[in-house]
Structure 1
Amino acid sequence: MVTWHDGCDESDGCDGRGRDGGDGRAAAPGARPGAAPGAGPRQGDGHQRGRGRGRGHGHGSGRAARAATSAAVLCLAAGVLGGLTAPPAWAAGTPRAYEPAADAQRITGAASSADAPEVAPGLFTDRIRPGQEKYYALDLDAKADFHVTATAVPEPGSRVTFQDGLKVTLQNTDGDSCSEGSAAGNGDTAFPLAATASRLMGDPADEDCRAAGPYLVHVVREEGDNSDPSSWPLELSVMAEPGLKGGIPAPRPGAEKETDAHNTRPAPPSGPAENRTGGTGFNDARALGDGVWKDRVRAGETRWFRVPVDWGQRLYARTELPNSARRSGSGTGSRYVPHGFRMNVYNPARTPLYDEDFQGWDGDGAKFDRYSNPVRYENRFLDAASGTRFAGWYYVAVTVGPDMATPFPDGTPVTLRIDVRGRAQQGPEYDGDVAAAGFGVSGRDREMAEKGLTEAQAEHSATLRTVGWAGIGAGVALLLVLALWLLLARRRARTAGYPVPGPYGPAGSLPHYAPHGGPPQG
């Protein structure tokens, strides 16, 4: 399990290398070693030894070979499966915190651009204090589009106001801004704040940022009068999207009118809801396909899901909260919770599609939905539709406010209705491996959505399949070895004039043992 880097720097009085910011959960214990083998049978007199040798010829060595090979196969499987650690457990009723990616690199951003550590396509973890600024160095080519998303993670259940925020800017070394994005808190409730800055090669407004060379990522944590004083974990995602072969398509006429605000919502999916427990963040989000899904979310917690949306398709997502399980207090007065829940949608680069507020809940249930633009490459040059600019995993995050603990002390039941509309279309022709860059929809992605898997579960399943095929292969190899051994043993017996070994003795009958350890009698 990866822990958050504490992000200390020399100005804080530490060595700048950072320390592991543990989350307080104990690591899963390792596999218990197997018991030592017991002592073998006590060596007896000649009668016992003779019997052992007589029975062993043609049988005992075969059993030993089979046992040894089977044990080796089982040990191999146990070793592989033992390395697949179970997900960490949380105390009942405690909101789960955001989990960074297992392969994220720990790094400490610098207060000065002169000391900025280098980042590249991948994931990085750091920490950031109220009002702190951090710089990171990024080397860009003159072909790919780059997307940098900073995600700050306040402690679940803590108070985060509209004055608390995060701003990320991509700039050249002259200080010219190429792109910037920001995110702010609302609802006096903590949830992950994600902001994106992008360098787009086809954007005519980005002439100063098209050249290859060094650039800077500038991240600022904005604070207000009543800001959360604690240091927040920070995750930095850098994605390089290959350029296109040929020209860049022009925006479609009328695309600005295909936004959520200008479209009638489709009928939501219906039917019985199936259980799907959401993840803690982008890295372990639960895959979903079309259908009706349910989860139970603790007060102050954010659950994450992801849906594969291909070129030309639109995502419809609807979150519902039920009527109250009981009346608050004595059952009199208002049951209205102004900051009941929040839903937002993010694209494959982790960019929020909308700037969402918390929704109220009045005790009789509540719902909120979104219907995205069709996914098109050229949307990146449109203000209202720029979020739906590439195919891939789209994330749906649902936060339940802390005050929902009164009507739902055991967690709030949440229903999620997902519908991907439209036929998947052929995407643009990239000049590079776009799937390896993290974009596009594959058959594996659709399978994960159908089965409701996280990325870790999909990798676990693939490993189990590999181990299963390896076990079958080992079993076939074992049978071939045993067959060859038996064939050679029979040939040696015939050559030497001894009875041919077989399952029931030389003539197919059971052997009879003479007393006092003599040779077997037919």
Structure 2
Amino acid sequence: MKRQRGRGRVALAGMAAMCAVAALPGQAWAVGEPNPYVFDSEAKAVRGSAVNSDGPPLTAGSTYKDTIKPGGKRYYRVDLDAKINAYVSAVAVPKLATKVGYADKLTVSIEDRSGTKCGDDDAQFGSATYARPVAAYADRTINKESSSCQEAGAYYVLLERSSEGTSTPEPWDVEIRFASEPGLKSAGPTAPPETWPSASPAAPGGGPEKRQGGTSFTDATGLAQGEWQDEIRPGQTLFYRVPVDWGQQIFASADLGTSAADDSAEGVGNALVLALHNPARGIVQDASSVYYDGKQKSLAMDPLPPVAYENRYDSDSSTKAMRFAGWYYLSVTLNPEVGEEFGQKPISLTLRVNVEGEANSAPAYAGPAGDFEVTKDDQEAAASGKNAPEAAKSNTMQLVAAAGIGAGAVLVLGLGVWMLLARRRTASADATAAPGPGPGAGAGAGAGPVPGPVGQGQVPGQAPGQAPTPGQYGPPPAW
């Protein structure tokens, strides 16, 4: 074995935008058009400060939305204890068809009060110089062998945007998420595995199935192991998510289908970007070195190590990112230049996903794992292709259905009791009315029910003093 190295709900406006885009499959992206990235509907508007002391606080488990200009800095504050590991991610979302350069990037870092960087990373466009969502995170990791960034107290999150002079100077929208990972009950190993299976597995069997990708991390479509078919338009980014448990490896590749355009079109370099992010939205690996000439092309991830807690102590960034179980996110972007050369019609996209290895036990966390675990519901959502909002909606509907069944049972039982009482009252009224005197007789033997409130000789829905009509059973007329 050889070790390889490498690098709850959708807003109605977002849904409407998605429907509009879906209704115009041949639409080309206009310059400066807002990216169809669907931000978390629960994201809170926040305004980062130019100085650290004024940075607005971020809360663990929450998502935020801000903007940043070229050369801009944005500070935020997080209050941490001496036990949890903290991750703050940022997704940069430039407007479509705007110009970005190789060195354009958004850097995320976490600093302590002395200005020491606890962790940092950047989301850079690199050789695929076209506007698309890019993401990275910074972390504060508890490490008994480290003397910095281990104390409880205030820490500062810093976003910095670097841009080339020729890039479009418009602000980028930014989605920020703060996630926390509980510490361990007792210290575990800190040496990452030296060897692991690195041979790419055979293509998953079973044949291709249709699966439509989402537009963001928030509504990423669930995928299990298998071969999945979709369509992608020039300039579009599609998101998918795959549950990967402790001890498991993920392998992924993307195939771009043939074009119906004539052979006179010129080829396009860096035509496809395939990126993998971990459950905290930290970049694991990306690839874009594919030249599209109208013929089918394939792009694959380098082999990655199995998910292990101790991977976080490795020096390689890709291995470090494989540090916890949970949803791993795949994003695929098609170069907008493909549309200029081969037309704006969607091109077939095939994703092949393998999840290898048996799931191991989770580390001994000192609290709930939260985002950093794989549940039975996650496995079911991946198998059925649900995205996060759909899965949440499904769980909600199950609760509503259960409540509805319970309420229905109570209603049926109540109607049964009501009918029984009505039958008894009718029988009693018939028995007393038969020998009684004619109309105008006073109260006494043979008189009808005494007028009064329901339950005192009167059947619900019956006029006061009126004897029940034979066969008059069932709910009152007002029901």
TM-score w.r.t. the length of structure 1 is 0.75
Residues 142 and 210, structure 1, Cα contact 8 Å, conserved in 2:
yes
Alpha-carbon distance between aligned partners in 2 of 1:304 and 1:203, rounded to the nearest angstrom: 37
C-alpha distance in 1, partners of 2:238/2:212? 8
Q: Does 1:245 align with 2:185?
A: yes
* 2:271–2:288 CA contact under 8 A, matched in 1: no
Q: Which structure has more helix as a fraction of its residues?
A: 1
Q: d(CA) in 2 for partners of 1:113 and 1:341? A: 38
Q: Equivalent residue for 1:471?
A: 404
Give per-residue Cα distances to partners, 1:202-257, cap 9 Å, x unaligned.
163x42200001111111010111112111111111111100011121224514xx
Matched, 1:491 2:394: no
For residues 269 and 238 of structure 2, the distance between their equivalents in structure 1, rounded to whole angstroms, comes to: 20
Cα distance in 2, alignment partners of residues 315 and 100 from structure 1: 26
Alignment of 1:165-176 (within 5 A): 165-176=105-116
Which residue in the other structure is 2:414 paired with?
481
Q: Which amino acid letter does the alignment assign opposite residue 130 of structure 1? A: P
State the Cα deviation string for residues 322-369 of structure 1 (Å, max 9, x = none). 122222xxx43x642113111011100101112533522122211111
Partner of 2:81: 141
Distance 2:211 2:432 in 1: 65
The alignment partner of 1:496 has SS state of helix
Rounded to whole Å, the distance in 2 between the matches of 1:485 and 1:319 is 64
Contact 1:157 1:299 survives alignment (8 Å):
no
Give the Cα–Cα distance (whole angstroms) in 2 for the partners of residues 251 and 315 of structure 1: 21
1:67 corresponds to which residue?
none
| SS of equivalent to 1:174 | coil
> Displacement of 1:449 after TM fit?
0.3
SS at match of 1:162: coil
- Partners of 1:358 and 1:190 lie apart in 2 by 17
1:521, distance to aligned residue in structure 2 (A): 11
Q: Distance in 1 between matches of 2:425 and 2:256?
A: 78
The one-letter code matched in structure 1 to 2:376 is G
Q: Which letter maps to 1:321?
A: L
SS at match of 2:323: coil
User: Partner letter of residue 375 of structure 1?
Assistant: V
5 Å-filtered alignment, 1:59-98, equals: 89-90=20-21, 92=24, 93=27, 97-98=36-37
Question: Do the aligned partners of residues 358 and 225 (structure 1) sit closer, same or farther apart at CA in structure 2, a change above 3 Å counting?
Answer: farther
Contact 1:203 1:381 in 2 (8 A): no
Displacement after TM superposition at 1:271 (Å): 4.2
Which one of 288, 297, 310 corresponds to residue 357 of structure 1?
A: 288
Say whether the 8 Å CA contact 2:238–2:331 is kept in structure 1: yes
One-letter code aligned to 2:336: P
Q: Give the letter aligned to residue 125 of structure 1.
A: K
2:375 & 2:307 partners in 1: Cα distance? 16
Deviation of residue 381 (structure 1)?
0.5
Deviation at 1:499, TM superposition (A): 9.8
* 2:204 is aligned with 1:269: yes
Provide the C-alpha distance between the structure 1 equivalents of 2:395 and 2:314, rounded to a whole number of angstroms: 40
Partner residue in 1 for 2:140 = 199
Aligned partners of 1:150 and 1:521: how far apart in 2? 73
| Matches of 2:257 and 2:101, distance apart in 1 | 26
Q: Residues 472, 381 of structure 1: CA spacing in aligned structure 2 closer, same or farther, 3 A cutoff?
A: same
1:455 corresponds to which letter in structure 2? Answer: A
Alignment of 1:437-452 (within 5 A): 438-452=371-385
- Amino acid of the structure 1 residue aligned with 2:52: S
Closer/same/farther in 2, CA of residues 521 and 235 from structure 1, 3 Å limit: closer
Q: Distance in 1 between matches of 2:272 and 2:352?
A: 16
The question of whether the paired residues in 2 share the 8 Å contact of 1:182 and 1:195 is answered with yes
Aligned counterpart, 1:287:
222
Distance of 2:20 and 2:389 partners within structure 1: 15
Q: How many residues align?
A: 415
Report what 2:395 is aligned to: 462
Per-residue CA distance 1:459-478 (angstroms, 9 max, x = gap): 22223223333333333223
Partner of 1:376: 308
Q: CA deviation at 1:158?
A: 2.9
The SS at the match of 1:386 is helix
Are the counterparts in 2 of residues 400 and 412 from structure 1 also a CA contact under 8 Å? no
* Residue equivalent to 2:42: 103
CA root-mean-square deviation: 2.5
- Cα gap change, 1:460 to 1:347, in 2 (>3 Å): same
Q: Offset of 1:142 from its aligned partner?
A: 0.3
Conserved in 1, the CA contact under 8 Å of 2:245 and 2:325?
A: yes
Give the counterpart letter for 2:274 in structure 1.
M
SS at match of 2:386: coil
Distance 1:246 1:184, change over 3 A: same
In structure 2, what is the Cα distance between the partners aligned to 1:175 and 1:2? 37
SS of residue in 2 equivalent to 1:481: helix
Q: Name the amino acid aligned to 2:258.
A: N
Letter matched to residue 378 of structure 1: E
Q: Which amino acid aligns with 1:394?
A: Y
Q: Within the alignment, does 1:210 sit opposite 2:163 as a pair?
A: no
Q: Cα gap change, 1:203/1:413 in structure 2, threshold over 3 Å: closer, same or farther?
A: farther
Residue 485 of structure 1: SS of its match in structure 2?
Answer: helix
Shift of residue 266, structure 1, vs aligned partner: 1.2
Deviations 1:64-84 (A, max 9, x none): xxxxxxxxxxxxxxxxxxxxx
Structure 1 unaligned blocks of 5 or more = 4-22, 29-85, 501-518
**Alpha-carbon contact 1:339-1:403 (below 8 Å) kept:** no
Deviation of the 1:123 alpha carbon: 1.1
- The CA deviation string for residues 378-429 of structure 1, in whole angstroms up to 9 with x for no partner, is 0001022101000000000000000222325221211001110011111211
SS of alignment partner, residue 163 of structure 1: coil
Gaps of 5+ in 2: 1-8, 30-34, 434-467, 472-479
Question: 1:102 is matched by which residue type in structure 2?
Answer: S
1:163 aligns with 2:95: no
**What is the rounded CA distance, in whole Å, between the counterparts of 2:131 and 2:470 in structure 1?**
85
- Name the residue aligned to 2:461: none
> Which one-letter code corresponds to 1:297 in the other structure?
I
Distance verdict in 2 for CA 1:158–1:276, change over 3 Å = farther
Instruction: Give the TM-score taking structure 2 as reference length.
Output: 0.81
- In structure 2, relative to structure 1, the CA distance for the partners of 1:465 and 1:499 (3 Å cut) is farther
1:219 aligns with 2:159: yes
Pair 1:271–1:474, CA change in 2 (3 A): same
For residues 264 and 415 of structure 1, what CA distance do their matches in structure 2 show? Answer: 21
The farther-off stretch of 207-216 and 361-370 is: 361-370
